Amino acid sequence: TVKALTPPDLVARKGKEKIACLTAYTTPMARLVDRHCDLILVGDSVGMVVHGLPNTLGVTMDMMMMHGKAVMRGAERTLVVVDMPFGSYEAAPVTAFENAARLMAETGCGAVKLEGGVEMAGTVEFLASRGIPVMAHIGLVPQRVQSFGGYKVQGRGAGREKIAADARAVADAGAFAVVLEKVIEPLARDITAEISVPTIGIGASPACDGQILVIDDILGVFTDFQPKFVRRYAQLGNDAEAAISAYAADVREGRFPAAEHCFVESRNKT
């Protein structure tokens, strides 16, 4: 068996080697990502890209548990991090611990991620000091899209000091990494220089210690909208549609199934 990367392994890469991260939600995709990346996030983005929800607010513990287990079956060497869904961690550190412990114990993942900065630092500390590695997520935090009034760029003007304080607070609380989402480049650079754990950027410039994107975005599977920070490396949605349309046409025209797909009375006779 291959030894999986741990949070301390990734912390040790800061300033030395960039950290490549992607999301995954299923066993086959986890297998592919596992061969090339360092960290797989079972993101609550699964609600939008797999389950068709309008945002991440409707994602449940059951969904994260199921996709976490599926990803763990495909991952050997990457660190697998499971997102804590909206409502599972905000109310109190004890609730957060109970839900995070369930995610770790039942999926076998190596860490959890939660959204929030200064206001969540006490919870990060509570979990981290009790054996639950925590990846923090600050800047644009999609679970608060209603309060934010949209998916806006973070850190411009007066917002800058707030996000710097968030980064400091979660790092001091013991987070082993901090996701910076849609944060302006100079601020991402300053935070990366200031905190001692890796920053993982999504729309937060190459100044970060690592990068993460949603796998359905880079593969061109999820095409409802494309954030400016996404680079599309494939057009699998188009390929899938072409395949589906060719199949349907073959069925209708009688070209599928062909002789090689059919079963005969006995394998020993013609």
83 known ligand binder: yes
Which CB atom, from 197 or from 212, has the smaller least distance to ligand KIV? Answer: 212
> Residue 67 in contact with residue 99, Cβ under 8 Å?
no
> Residue 77 in contact with residue 5, Cβ under 8 Å?
yes
- What letters, b where the CB count within 10 A reaches 16 and e where it falls short, cover 116-130? bbbebbebbbbbbee
Binding site for Na ion (CB under 5 A): 43-44, 83
From 181, 185, 241, 265, active-site residue:
181
| Helices 121-128, 93-107: crossing angle, 10 deg rounding | 50
- Partner whose binding site includes residue 212, from Na ion, ligand KIV, none (CB under 5 to 8 Å by kind): ligand KIV
45 known ligand binder: yes
Closest contact distance (angstroms) between CB of 137 and ligand KIV is 6
Closest contact distance (angstroms) between CB of 135 and Na ion is 10
User: Exposure of 268 by Cβ count < 10 A (0-12 exposed, 13-18 middle, 19+ buried)?
Assistant: exposed
Which CB atom, from 197 or from 202, has the smaller least distance to ligand KIV? Answer: 202
- What letters, b where the CB count within 10 A reaches 16 and e where it falls short, cover 88-98? bbbeebeebbe
Closest contact distance (angstroms) between CB of 21 and Na ion is 12
Sign of CA dihedral 199, 200, 205, 207: positive
115 known ligand binder: yes
Binding site for ligand KIV (CB under 6 A): 23, 41, 43-45, 83, 137, 179, 202, 212, 214
| H helices present in 3-60, as ranges | 7-11, 27-34, 46-49
- Measured between alpha carbons, how far is 43 from 177 in angstroms, rounded to an integer? 15
> Residue 211 in contact with residue 18, Cβ under 8 Å?
yes
Confirm whether 181 is a catalytic residue. yes
166 known ligand binder: no
Which CB atom, from 22 or from 195, has the smaller least distance to ligand KIV? Answer: 22
Which CB atom, from 47 or from 174, has the smaller least distance to ligand KIV? Answer: 47
Q: Token digits for 191?
A: 């935070």
Which CB atom, from 23 or from 99, has the smaller least distance to ligand KIV? Answer: 23
- Partner whose binding site includes residue 136, from Na ion, ligand KIV, none (CB under 5 to 8 Å by kind): none
125 known ligand binder: no
Closest contact distance (angstroms) between CB of 268 and ligand KIV is 54
* Closest CB to ligand KIV: residue number: 43
Binding residues for 3-methyl-2-oxobutanoate: 44-45, 83, 113
Which residues have a catalytic role annotated? 181
Binding residues for Mg(2+): 44, 83, 115
